[in-house]
Chain A
Amino acid sequence: GESVGLHLPTLSVQEGDNSIINCAYSNSASDYFIWYKQESGKGPQFIIDIRSNMDKRQGQRVTVLLNKTVKHLSLQIAATQPGDSAVYFCAENIPGNQFYFGTGTSLTVIP
């Protein structure tokens, strides 16, 4: 029979362009959020985090934006490079509980 797996959203960008990856989270009580990057054959790697008392946080080439009103999180990658090709997960932390991970977005950078 036909196998059915998760249908990951995909994003393809040209090298040098900016990338925006979006995530909708589920619980309005979530107070902490993380973006992870997972390359093929490797474990998820921490990229950047943000607490619910902030709406923006910047790292090196990456920016996370948090909109609590609509429970939306985004990851912006500036000047995307081939090494940025990976699956990106957002995770939310509910106080007193553990993290919940999204299904991920697959980013492909076209040289």
Chain B
Amino acid sequence: DAGVIQSPRHEVTEMGQEVTLRCKPISGHNSLFWYRQTMMRGLELLIYFNNNVPIDDSGMPEDRFSAKMPNASFSTLKIQPSEPRDSAVYFCASRDSNTDTQYFGPGTRLTVL
């Protein structure tokens, strides 16, 4: 298995632009998580899905952030409009329901200028 796949790996954009991050979970995993990691706050959960349905989005910073999971093999995290304080590494993880273990993708390093 290729593991959790994220794209792009790096994104540099200007303030005000829309940013879309993509994630492909491990096949057969029914839960998907979006995290943000910064030096200031460490690893923060933004939102997670069970069976493609958003369960808890209380970690989403504000209305500029939105996430979708149209099917079991794809999810997006969108920031519109982006701001410099959104600069961080964004991780996607999927969970094996048999073991509860979360497996992380390589992350997307976002820089908003």
Contacts and interface: CB of A to CB of B under 8 A. Distances in A.
Partners in one complex: yes
Interface of A: 3-6, 32, 34, 36, 42-46, 49, 89, 91, 93, 98-99, 101, 103-104
B101 A49 contact: yes
Contacts of A89: 43
Q: How many interface residues does chain B have, given as a range? A: 20 to 34
Contacts of A44: 43, 91, 104
Interface in B39-54: 39-43, 45, 48
A98 B33 contact: yes
Given A6-B42, A99-B45, A104-B42, A42 B106 contact: yes
B105 interface: yes
Interface of B: 4, 33, 39-43, 45, 48, 56, 91, 93, 99-107
9 contacts: A3-B39, A5-B39, A43-B105, A43-B107, A44-B104, A46-B102, A99-B45, A101-B42, A103-B42
The 7 closest A-B pairs by CB, nearest first: A43-B104, A5-B39, A101-B43, A44-B104, A103-B42, A43-B107, A43-B106
